[in-house]
Structures are given as C-alpha cells and as structure tokens.
Amino acid sequence: MERGGSFGAPLRCRLLLLAACWVVAAAGENILPPPSNLNYSFIQICTLNWTWNPPENISSSCDLKYSSDILIDEVSQHKNEWRKSLFRITDTVLNKEMRFKVRSECKSSNATDHSRWVETSVPPKGIPGTAAVGLSCVWHNLEYMLCKWRPGENASSDTNYTLYYWFDGLERHKECRNYSVSQGSFECAFNLTFPQAASGYPPISVLIRDDSEKIMPVCVTENPTTLVKPATPKIVKLSYVNNGIYLQWSESGTIPANCLSYEVKYHNGDLTTQTIQVEFNSASIPNVDPNSKYTFQVRAQPKVDCYSSKFCSEWSEEKSIGENPNPAFNLLLIITIPLIVTVSTIILLVYLKRLKILLLPPIPDPREILKRMFGEQNEDPQSCAKEDYMNGYDKLIKEEEIHSLILIETPESSNSEKEHR
C-alpha cells in the first residue's frame, strides 16, 4: 500500500501538469491578435494620419474595436480613443519624440478580450535646443493674426525662421511674409479670414522651421476663437446730459456687436478710479459734479457666448470733460505761495526779536556798575588840581600868543599911514 501510494503521488502531479499545459494552450489559442502594418503620413504641416490593418482570423461574433493612445517624450497625453475605423488623425509635435500605439479589442456577450499594443514613433528632427520657443499667436479683430516667438538657446544668431500656416479650407499651406525682429524676438503677421459659408472656425496650424534640417521644427494647432483680441475703441462723443455725462465710442466693425462687451473706467479730480461694465457701445454716468474734470477710457472684451478668448483690447486714449485748470495760474500759485511763506517767516522772526527785547530787556552787568562807582570815588584830588593848573597855563600861553600877534601887526599899520601922508 505504501508503494502504491508513493507511486500514485507522482502520477497525480503529472496529471495536474498536463491539465495546466492544456489550459495554457487553450488560452493561447483564444488570445486576440493585434493590428498589423501600423504606419503614419502627413496630411498637412501639423497633421498626421495613423493607419493600420485589422487582425486575421477574427470570429464573426466578435465586436471588433481599436484602442489608441499618444505619448510625447514617454508621457501619456490621456487621449485614448475607441473606434472601429482603421485610422486616426492627430496633431503632431515635431520638436519632441511622439509615439502612437494601438491594440485590438473584441467585445462578446461573455467577456472582453484585447490584444497587445502595437507602437510606432515619429522621432524629432534637427539639433536639440534650436527650435523656436515661446510661440504665441493673437487674432486681432478677426482681421489678421500676429505670431511671436524667440530663438532657441542653441540656435545661431543668423538663423532665419520661416512660419507656415494652414486650416481646413485652404488647398495647401501658406507662408507668412511680414517678418520683423525686435530685441532678439521674432514676429510675423498674416491676414486671416474664413469663408462666410463656414459654420464656425476650423482649427489653425502654425509651423515654424528653418530651410535647413539643422533647426528643429515646431508645430502648434490652436482653436482660433481662443485667440481673438478686439480692436481698441475710440471715444467719439462726450457731453453733459441731465446732470450726468454721456459717452459713446466706436464699434469693432468686424466682430458682431452682440459678441462684445465693454469696460469703462473714469476718475475725477480726486483721482479715485471707478469701473463699470457695459453691454453696448455707450454709457451714462449720473449725478456728476459739474465743477470737476472727468477723464474716461474704454476697452472691449469678447463674450464667452461667441469666443473663448481671454484677450481684451487695449485701453482707449483718455478723453476728458469739465473744467481744466489754467496751467499759468497753477504755476503762479506754485511760485507765490512759497514766497509769501518765506516773507511771513522773516517778518515774524524780526517781530519776535523786538518783542523779546521789550519784554526781556538786557540786565546790566553788576561788575561794570561797581567799577564805575568805585572808580569815581578813588580819583586823586591833586591830579585834578594839577589838571586845572595845566589847563590854566595853556590858556595863558594862548592869550600871550594872541597879544604878541597884535603887537607885531601894529608897526606895519603905522608905517603905512606915514607913506600915505
């Protein structure tokens, strides 16, 4: 019994192993094959068409579909799609590696099977770091589009970038011709209008590259409704009406009136700015001060009902109404007021000094008073007598001189009398 038991254990193991192999083999026969012959081709400058062939030997009860996804630099873009068709059209990114993968999926009443992924990639071209950077485009007033960009950090100073654009309705892509360079940045403008019969606006693709293969190309596809920027309004009327101010400004001309709203800002002499939202091209400001000067500006912005753009127009030129102070009068005030203050300050200082002298006269020095008192008492009487004697002597000498002169003159007068005789 023991031998039979020992022999039966290996037999059971063999049977289990055979059953497992049979299950694996059966499962392998049911694995769904993947699509074949995956390839791509350029439809337009920034559009790729991915194509593949269906798997073979698919049961008629299978509801066959295909799942596809896009990866850019190994990062999934989360753009999974399920479709029965054998192609998918996508935008391309030429300055990065772009991978596309697809697999088969069979949905039946019992379960869902899918194949393994099949992949292919579009490698980048050109030298890394030479592609245009910071590409941004604005659609001005539905008339022309202006695109700006900067050169890549590894691009040479003499690199000449070329811009191409395309949208559904053009037979082939077009080249922009109006280039300009300012402070190292490039820009190019081209007219952009869509056929009137078009219901909506198709996406627009922009490609920037160089004639040589050394410069890495850049492709961008945008919804043009997100790029709309209205024209700058112009205030055409500003007047007083019923204790208020009425103003009116010009409309776009190319953008429908019901697709724009407006923002009005104004301030008076105290420079307090106020802003109001307006649906039409006119506004009224009630209860204003007629003795103040009011300054107005207006700008337009697209309505979300028509466009998805966040671009507003530039502010209009300032326009004012009300009293305008005379600049010469202001200059006179600027000169006169400081002069009056200076003269008043000097007069006040002089007046305060005199008032201080009257209220607080100077106190005599006691030492001077004592010195005068004791100096007069200590005078020598003999010196005074001597001084009087000397004065008398001097007086006597002066009298003698006078008498001597008289004596000298007397003989001359007597001789003259004798001669006359």
Q: What is the pLDDT of residues 247-303, one digit of tens each?
A: 999 998 899 999 999 999 998 876 778 999 999 999 999 988 888 889 999 999 999
The residues, ordered by sequence, that sit 6+ positions from 362 with a Cβ below 8 Å of its Cβ are none
Q: How far apart are CA 313 and CA 301, in angstroms?
A: 6
Check residue 406 and give its pLDDT.
44
- Beginning with the edge strand found earlier in the chain, give each strand of the sheet holding 282-285 in spatial order: 235-241, 244-249, 282-285
The 3-class SS string of the chain reads: CHHHHHHHHHHHHHHHHHHHHHHHHHHHHHCCCCCEEEEEEEEECCEEEEEEECCCCCCCCCEEEEEEEEEECCEECCCCEEECCCEEEEECCCCCCEEEEEEEEEECCCCEEECCCEEEEECCCCECCCCCEEEEEEEECCCEEEEEEECCCCCCCCCCCEEEEEEECECCCEECCEEEEECCEEEEEEECCCCCCCCCCCCEEEEEECCCCCECCEEEEECHHHCEECCCCCEEEEEEECCEEEEEECCCCCCCHHHEEEEEEEECCCCCCEEEEECCCEEEECCCCCCCCEEEEEEEEECCCCCCCCCCCCCCCCEEECCCCCHHHHHHHHHHHHHHHHHHHHHHHHHHHHHHHHHCCCCCCHHHHHHHHHHHHCCCHHHHHHHHHHHHHHHHHHHHHHHHHHHHHHHHHHHHHHHHC
- Beginning with the edge strand found earlier in the chain, give each strand of the sheet holding 260-267 in spatial order: 274-278, 260-267, 294-302, 319-321
Q: Which residue stretches of the chain have pLDDT < 50?
A: 1-29, 381, 384-386, 393, 396, 400-421
pTM for the complete prediction?
0.66
Check residue 6 and give its pLDDT.
41
pLDDT tens sequence across 197-210: 556 889 999 999 98
Q: How far apart are CA 102 and CA 53, in angstroms?
A: 11
Check residue 196 and give its pLDDT.
65
Residue whose C-alpha is closest to residue 312's, from 353, 354, 265: 265
The residues, ordered by sequence, that sit 6+ positions from 35 with a Cβ below 8 Å of its Cβ are 52, 53, 54, 55, 66, 86, 102, 103, 104, 115, 118
Check residue 421 and give its pLDDT.
39
Check residue 173 and give its pLDDT.
92
Within 10 angstroms of residue 348's Cβ, the number of other Cβ atoms is 10
Q: How far apart are CA 379 and CA 255, in angstroms?
A: 117
Check residue 298 and give its pLDDT.
96
Tokens 């030997």 belong to 57
The residues, ordered by sequence, that sit 6+ positions from 74 with a Cβ below 8 Å of its Cβ are 97, 99
Check residue 310 and give its pLDDT.
92
Check residue 5 and give its pLDDT.
42
